[in-house]
A and B are shown apart, each in its own frame.
Chain A
Amino acid sequence: MLPALCTLSQASRTVFERAIFGNKPQPLGLWATVVYYAIAIAVITTLVLLIAMIGIWAERKVAGHMQSRLGPNRVGPFGLLQSLADGIKLILKEDLIPRSGDRLLFRLAPYVAFAPVFAAFVALPFAPDMVFEPRLNVGVFYVLAVLGVEVMGVMLAGWASNNKWSIYGAMREACQMVSYEIPLGISIIVGVMAAGTLNMVEMSSAQGGGLHTWLIFRNPFVFIAFFVYFVASLASNKRAPFDLPESESELVAGFHTEYSGMRWAFFFFAEYAAMFVVGGIQAALFQGGWNDPFGLIGHYHSKFLASGSTAGLVVVNLFGATVFVAKASLIIFIQMWLRWTLPRPRIDQVLYACVKVLLPIACAMLLGAALWQLLVPDQTVAALVVQIALTVLGVAVSGAILLWIAHAWIGRRGNKLRLTDPAEIPQKAAGPAAA
């Protein structure tokens, strides 16, 4: 990393570096690097805050519409400024710290929960040239590592509150997040085996040939590992149906019961940013990253890189970033959809699902993917046939789901509400009263 910090090489430079320093490789002085890092930190902070704001708004709107109500619609058009209003309210709230808790750790916990998620943004590949650190050779593993530190923040929050419910929430959360890191890691390994690299930029570039080159369609084992990863990522984000640490109906608010105002807001920034990071890893690792299904972005990027036109590169990068954010947002939407659909299991059921269901499936996928790499080498006809078959399967299933949703949406007014009409109630109840 030391040479990477001090010298900018020609290959895989970020848009910032190109914009500020042009195309010449040159070592940066100390102050230039500090300014560069300050800009990067400001951009990441803005991204995290935007994601949290839009995420909270989307959560409330999605929840509302799934519960046949409207959600916030008074503050700004479609309630878009609701998050801003909430933010202002939270800043102005009284800062309560439990007197008999551990005050220093109480103050520290939100930052220990938030900082790792902030650090994980560095590795996300938004576009071919829009990566905060493209030379991170252990991209995916680094994100996994820092997300593990977030567990510590949540546990400290529960402990320092000196509140039984918070400690229950913290302990459940530690169990759950740490247990689910295993199937999470193993399913990431399956994807990484198919990709051949841990570097997220290279991984996304390798999926640039069109829909059938996406890693999820590479072999059937990665296909199933994607779903294992999705479920494990739900648990690692403390997201329903695995939101036992928060358990709104059981533990008051779980580990963040005693937190109010901006401290609570930090936990929520961490949660929504972590949802985006996890969605981003899924998008980059399994769903083609910044590539569109037709492979145009990869094609035009290499074309513009060869011809050196900056305007073309900027346009391609913006498209790529839009595609990446759209994919991550789709994953976030599915997470929210599941939250308002599925009931919450008990902690022993959660751990059962992890250790006895997801872990064997993940290990079997690992074994299968390893054998697949040996038996069906990458560039052969058989591999291509399987990729196209899986692509067709994936498109068919997604298309079927979309058609089903469209059918339900179009026919929604024709659905009779299943309220009981008084005339339909059989009059048996009137018998004993009348007699």
Chain B
Amino acid sequence: MAMMVAQTVNMGSVLFYVFALIALVSAIGVVLSQNIVRTAVCLLFTLAGVAGLYLLLSAEFLAAVQLVVYAGGTLILIIFGVMLTSKSPFSRFQPRRVEVAIAIALGLVLLVMLIMGFDSAIHSRHFVQETSSQAQRYPMDKLGQVLLGDYLVPFEVVSVLLLTVMIGAAYLAKARRRERKGP
């Protein structure tokens, strides 16, 4: 990576390695763990690490949203599902070898694609490496204006999607009436 500006060792870079390490080790834990609740806990740390990385990129709102939606919502739902349905705290899953092989192959394909994409992005003309003194911090009101101004259509589409999801979930969770038997 000779094209990159020489990295100074400051708190930002140390924290990057800390958060990246947390996210990476937890992600490996998610994959390798066989107890589903431990998988969920490792996922929590992965998401927290990713939220930390968002914070380092000055995307504070995104970091908070990540914690609210993923760690405080999705994970709770997963654990709730596990608590309500699993027969013992130690139920394990054992994937078959074929599944593991296919998963590894797909993962390698994804890795190669990501590396190629990253490489071409760095070497392209449009890539601007922001040094620490130039990085902008986008104020929250600009985010709100952009979300309700330039990107209003995707915003409304997403809200309609969420409404559909809520209606579907409410319908699925509705208690069924018992059918009357006989006169």
Contacts and interface: CB of A to CB of B under 8 A. Distances in A.
B72 A181 contact: yes
A155 B79 contact: yes
Interface string A153-168: 0011001101000010
A410 interface: no
A351 interface: no
Nearest to A199: B140
B72 A178 contact: yes
Nearest to A34: B11
Nearest to A178: B76
A151 B72 contact: yes
A197 interface: yes
B60 A1 contact: yes
Nearest to B61: A138
Interface residues on A, range: 35 or more
A196 B139 CA distance: 12
A146 B67 contact: yes
Interface of A: 1-7, 27-30, 33-34, 37, 101-102, 104-105, 108, 112, 135-138, 141-142, 144-146, 148-149, 151-152, 155-156, 159-160, 162, 167, 170-171, 174, 178, 181, 196-199
Interface string B14-54: 11000000000000000000010110010010001000000
Interface of B: 9-12, 14-15, 35, 37-38, 41, 44, 48, 55-58, 60-61, 63-68, 71-73, 75-76, 79-80, 83-84, 89-90, 132-133, 135, 137, 139-141
A178 B79 CA distance: 13
Contacts of B90: 102
A4 B10 CA distance: 12
30 contacts: A1-B55, A2-B132, A4-B137, A6-B10, A6-B11, A30-B10, A30-B11, A33-B10, A105-B41, A112-B44, A135-B137, A136-B60, A137-B61, A137-B140, A138-B140, A141-B64, A145-B64, A145-B71, A149-B72, A151-B72, A151-B76, A152-B41, A155-B80, A159-B37, A160-B89, A170-B83, A171-B80, A174-B76, A174-B80, A181-B72
The prevalent SS among residues of B at the interface is helix
Listed residue (B10, B58, B80, B133) with the most chain A CB atoms within 10 angstroms of its CB? B10
Given A112-B44, A138-B61, A149-B71, A3 B137 contact: yes
Contact of B72 (A27, A28, A145, A170): A145
A167 B83 contact: yes
A148 B77 CA distance: 13
A148 B71 contact: yes
A155 B61 CA distance: 26
A34 B68 CA distance: 28
A12 B141 CA distance: 19
Given A2-B56, A112-B41, 6 more contacts: A2-B57, A145-B63, A145-B72, A151-B76, A152-B44, A160-B89
Contact of B64 (A28, A144, A178): A144
B132 A102 contact: no
A312 to B, nearest CB: 30
Given A105-B41, A155-B79, A171-B83, A2 B12 contact: yes
A152 B73 CA distance: 10
Contacts of B41: 105, 108, 112, 152, 156
B17 to A, nearest CB: 12
B12 A6 contact: yes
A2 B89 contact: no
Nearest to B12: A2
A405 to B, nearest CB: 38
